[in-house]
Amino acid sequence: MTDVYTLGAALGVVSSGRIRHDSEARLDVCGPEFTLAIGLSRLGHSAAFLGKVGADELGMRVRSILRGEGVDIADMRVDESATTGLLLKESRVGFAPQTSYYHAGSAGCRLSPGNVPIDRIAASRMLHVTGLTAALGRDALEAVRAAVGAAHTADVMISFSVAYRAELWNSVREAEEVLGELACASHLLFVHQDELDLVKPALTAEREVVVNRGQKGASVRADRMRYDAPVFSVPVVDPSGAEEAFAAGYISGALDGLTPPERLQRGAQLSAAATTSASEWQALPVRSDLFSFTAR
């Protein structure tokens, strides 16, 4: 049985300073579900990732990294007629990071309901999906819906990260409708405090809601109680992968049967670790690192 099944679009990321002037850049791979799957695998959980990549070098890199990290990619698809998506990230001291998505027509956007393995999701302990993948187009949204429907039918726990990116939606109203629908279908909801208004119908006492409060830490409402945890103080290189790393840590704690405060603690550990690297996933810890990280 797979611990966590997830699906999404992994893409290449090119990071630089001022893109119009810099002559050097860094190439990596990113994606929220990509980061989550690696984070869970490094902690000893079995994770499966479904996605589509192009028959190109970036697609090969995505598959090689996931395979090397012990993530199950048996369901991944290679689209011979499309390229792997790309993200340009501009980071300058004193400025908020700027990102530009080159998703249109990419292989990741072509993920469809027909690619979703109903039986494998039904045999998993948890399904994790994000609003970012739901925003990539009609086919990708229907694939997410098919996965959620399969999990619901099989009584598999559903985890959902809102992961709202305004530039990927046609309107706020469209985002509210889709994100609210998926949030209401979930058992475990990850939401940033700035996204709470997008998923108001899902903020009920029956649902486990984990709220990212930025520098104020994180909180969870579970069993009609609220618990809080502060952030870890670490040198921040790039905060981009922090939210999905947090979700990986929290889910790991849930799979291990930890209490809500202990889950928050582990989520905070992975979130902090992710920010210490220019990569969204390369600094994620293995299980043996957790104690030493706590002791700092």
SS3 of 27-78: the string is EEEECHHHHHHHHHHHCCCCEEEECEEECCHHHHHHHHHHHHCCCECCCCEE
Using a pLDDT cut of 90, give the percent of the chain over it. Answer: 75
| Range 137-147 average pLDDT | 96
Strands (E) located in the chain: 2-7, 11-16, 26-30, 47-50, 52-54, 77-79, 86-90, 98-102, 124-130, 157-161, 188-192, 208-212, 218-222, 225-229
Of residues 287 and 99, more confidence is placed in 287
Compute the average pLDDT of residues 268-287.
93
Q: Read off the pLDDT band of 260 (50, 70, 90).
A: very high
Q: Please write the tens of the pLDDT for every residue from 144-160.
A: 999 999 999 999 999 99
pLDDT at 296: 44
Question: Looking at the whole model, is its pTM more than 0.85?
Answer: yes
- The pLDDT of residue 94 is 65
Read off the pLDDT of residues 18-29 as tens digits, 9 standing for 90 and up. 777 777 888 999
Token pair 């899902």 in the structure block, residue: 202
Q: Is the pLDDT of residue 80 over 80?
A: yes
**CATH architecture of the domain with residue range 3-283:** 3-Layer(aba) Sandwich (3.40)
Q: Over range 28-51, report the average pLDDT.
A: 97
Q: Which of 30-39, 58-67, 100-109 has the lowest mean pLDDT?
A: 100-109
Among 8, 243, 212, CA closest to 107: 8
Tokens found for residue 34: 């990509």
